[in-house]
Amino acid sequence: MPEIVTIQSRQETYIDSSDSDENFGTSNRLRVDGSPRRWTLIEFPINNSIQRQSQTVNLRVQEAKLQLYPTDSGGSSTVYAVPSSIQWSETSVTWNNFADVLDASEEVEVASIGWVNSYQWKEVDVSSAFASSLTDISDTITFVIKSRSTNGVSYRAGPFSPKLELTVGSDDDDFIEPPSPMVRDSNVLNLLTCSFEFTNPLFCIIAHDYNPR
């Protein structure tokens, strides 16, 4: 059976083009804006979070949901994923050194976020970030949230920091056993037998085995 695993972000921060040398790793806000450009970076541990799953089974992420808690209402934005172990630190990353610690060429657009309302958890489907099996995904995954909207939004860090909900299972979880062709209770056995020896090929005989009380 598939298992739902909720992962807390390991680190999160934002970078600001208008304050390009400043680090915001200690801020309790994750800001996303189009003018000035502010991008949010969120990193989640993956493999360590699912170690309780059997290592002998070919596991894969069947569904992934990014959960964010906005502190104000704001416009739309785009979520990008970097599913590789590129190292960066929330206490040192800035707008100016962003390209050095995170290779933008590896970014893959995985989701769009529409208008968000303040103080209501926002859930975003990021399943496309896990298109391959878990054996092809490294220890961490980073999400970068960008926006072209001038109506920016802030998400909470700290106690309400982002979460990633994964539905994890094996390929065998997709198999559904077909129902039995025979229905029986303590009184009646209904067996449907179709015969094609008659003129009408749709003619069927329904046999009843009745067990009287």
119: left (phi over 0), alpha (psi -120 to 50) or beta: left
Model pTM score: 0.75
**Quick one: the chain helix, strand, coil %, rounded to 5?**
15, 45, 45
Query: Measured between alpha carbons, how far is 68 from 40 in angstroms, rounded to an integer?
Result: 11
Phi and psi at residue 182, to the nearest 5°: -115, 135
Residue 149: name the closest of 67, 78, 70 by CA: 78
Reading the chain (213 residues) residue by residue, the pLDDT tens digits are 788 999 999 999 999 999 999 999 999 999 999 999 999 999 998 876 665 444 545 677 889 999 999 999 998 999 999 866 577 899 999 999 987 777 667 788 999 999 999 999 999 999 998 875 443 455 788 999 999 999 999 999 988 999 999 998 876 655 434 444 444 444 433 433 444 444 444 434 333 444 454
- CB of 147 closer than 8 Å to CB of 33: yes
First to last CA, the chain: 41
